[in-house]
Chain A
Amino acid sequence: MMRGMIGVFAELDSTVEAIEELKHKRLGDLTAYTPTPRHELEHAIEPPPSPVRKFTLVGALSGAIFGYWLAIWGSNYWPLVVGGKAISTWIPYTVFGFEVMVMVGALSTVFGMFYLAGIPRLTMTVGYDPRFSGANYGVWCECAPEKLAEVEAILRRHGAVEVRGES
């Protein structure tokens, strides 16, 4: 049974128009494809803001705390005692706090991106065409079987160079 209809477009504005009509008629779940980020498509889809920043914040705070803790704990556990000097001091240990903050914060940002974008994807599931990484735009509409014909008609009317159903 077909799960949806995919349209391959050569022009950006045609893609945007097709998305706007499909969205207006609420025919199914839409996924837009583009070889490069385009604000026009983002405006047409109107997605919520990316929550990647939450991963960044948690990672950066954890990293900073771990960096300071490592230096303080290491100094206290194996102390290098120098007369007149504190065993642990926060000024030089800011180097560790900062570097580990950047490392963990950046890595958790990438982890957040992977998690939210749903990658790694081990298999190429339905609703993709290799032309989307080259020069073409695309719209994948996952919908109920009785709406497939209408979706196909909309995609063709807006100038899709190829429309096909995928199951």
Chain B
Amino acid sequence: MATLAHPDEPRRPNIASADVQLPAVKDYEQVDREILQILQPTKAWFAGLLIALTCLAFGIASWSYQIHEGLGVAGYNPPVMWGVYIITFVFWVGIGHAGTLISAILYLFRAGFRTTIYRAAEAMTVFAVMTAGLFPIIHIGRPWKFFWLIPYPNWRLLWPNFKSPLVWDVFAITTYLTISTTFLFVGLIPDIAVLRDRETNPLRKQILAALSFGWRNSEREWRHFARAYLFLAAFSTPLVLSVHSVVSFDFAMGIAPGWHTTIFPPYFVAGAIFSGFAMVWTIIIPMRRWFGLRHYVTLNHLDASAKMVLFTSLVVGCAYIAEFFIAWYGGVQYEQDYFWNRVFGQWWWAAWIMLTCNMILPLSLFSQKLRRNPTWLFILSIFINIGMWFERFVIVVPSLSHDVEPWQWSSYVPTWVDYGLLIGSFGWFFMWFLLFVKQLPVMALAEIKEIVPPKMKHKDPHHHGGH
């Protein structure tokens, strides 16, 4: 493998070998020192937070205006009654997928490149699902009635339809948010104990002691922790696959052209992992540069994640082509007409943004040189984020605007309120992430120490305690 040094060659800094994943990280003290220095606020961090809060304020103002004026101020135009809010909901749920994929699925597969990126990805998941959860509430127009979606005994004969995908969504998203948060928090407990033991401020020390639940790093605690973590990963793995499958059922259970297809669940799951990895790059690549963490998130890690992105891009591309093929092969005129309208008609510009960003540009990752170029990966991640938002636009809007009834064909133009809430969602997401980065370790201290060789009295690896 070209990314690994030959065993006989002298080891160069930051070139991994089969037994040393982080060659520039020498000991546990270095791990604590370098990762915990991220917690110090900097001017760039305050500037980032200010931008996020400004975007959030725009979103709050837009939502307040919509609540005051009614849902008519959004760009809905019958029959297009799903628009930017549902598109953005699916987009953020998708972003939330990579975190659990990296932390759970790659953990079960013992993929080493996850170790330094999974904490940031898990936090991203929680904040992305928190963001996604807002949009169905915004979309219903009367947000104070959102609890009607939750099944609970009442005397209004108001009981959700358990055969409706929208109710499945409530259960899937709630479970995903709960389990992602639990997974993140359980993994944080030993690292919060590190913060507690280094803290000098008595008040902060007490808060951290409470948050770490009195964790003491005993062998007994680690034994139960490791077992519980394994089971959480085992639960989260099918959960990742189920959540976006359920989200895809919101569409696939409908009979609109372009929606009623069995390919949707795997297509949505692959797309979600694809977009989630792109967002991980958007976050991790600037972080490794600004905080001097290139020797933790190495080029090998980026290379391995680029291969995942390339693979999921090919799956998504295959799904796009399969959709066109089935429309042609199925011989249903409405389907064929719809797909023609999507790619060469009314919505050509959105479809080609999607195809270019999600199918064509990621092909560059066949080049190892580009897979190991962080600047290109960052630029590509922005394109993929844009492309995946447009993928959801292309799924939602053209089907509704070009239904089976030609007399009601129409168009859809989002208003400033739609865009305000879209921008606000990014502000909300990045506000939480930036606050997280400065309060808790954004890389898992205990797991990184696990791959750093421990100090040994005897250099012979076969002696007691050798690894």
Contact = CB atoms under 8 A, between A and B. Distances in A.
B296 to A, nearest CB: 15
Given A52-B224, A71-B162, A107-B182, A35 B175 contact: no
Contacts of B228: 50, 52, 109-110, 112-113
A52 B231 contact: yes
B27 interface: yes
Nearest to B32: A134
Nearest to A129: B197
Contacts of B213: 114, 119-121
A135 B214 contact: no
Contacts of B172: 95, 99
A130 interface: yes
Nearest to A14: B457
B457 A95 contact: no
A166 interface: no
B30 to A, nearest CB: 9
A134 B214 contact: no
A131 B29 CA distance: 10
Give the one of A112, A113, A114 with max B CB within 10 A: A113
B218 A20 contact: no
Interface string B177-210: 0110011001000100110111000000000010
A130 to B, nearest CB: 4
B3 interface: no
Given A13-B456, A103-B178, A134-B197, A33 B219 contact: yes
Interface in A102-149: 102-103, 105-107, 109-110, 112-114, 116-124, 128, 130-135
Nearest to B220: A117
A96 B150 CA distance: 13
A34 B221 CA distance: 10
Contacts of A80: 159, 161, 163
A32 interface: yes
Interface string A36-69: 1110111001010110110010001000000100
Contact of A116 (B32, B224, B467): B224
B457 A13 contact: yes
A122 B214 contact: yes
Contacts of A132: 197, 216-217
A99 B171 contact: yes
Given A13-B456, A17-B464, A95-B168, A41 B219 contact: yes
B18 to A, nearest CB: 18
Interface stretch (B308-316, B359-367, B424-432, B444-452): B444-452
A103 B27 contact: no
A37 B224 CA distance: 11
Contact of B179 (A74, A98, A106): A106
A38 B226 CA distance: 11
21 contacts: A11-B454, A35-B28, A36-B447, A37-B226, A37-B450, A40-B465, A42-B223, A56-B231, A70-B151, A78-B157, A99-B171, A106-B182, A106-B232, A113-B186, A116-B224, A119-B213, A119-B221, A120-B214, A132-B197, A133-B193, A135-B32
Given A96-B168, A106-B235, A134-B198, 19 more contacts: A13-B457, A16-B465, A20-B464, A31-B220, A36-B450, A37-B223, A50-B227, A50-B228, A70-B151, A74-B159, A78-B159, A89-B163, A92-B168, A105-B235, A112-B224, A130-B197, A132-B216, A133-B197, A133-B215
Interface of A: 10-17, 20, 31-38, 40-42, 45, 47, 49-50, 52-53, 56, 60, 67, 70-71, 74-75, 77-78, 80, 89, 92-93, 95-96, 98-100, 102-103, 105-107, 109-110, 112-114, 116-124, 128, 130-135, 159
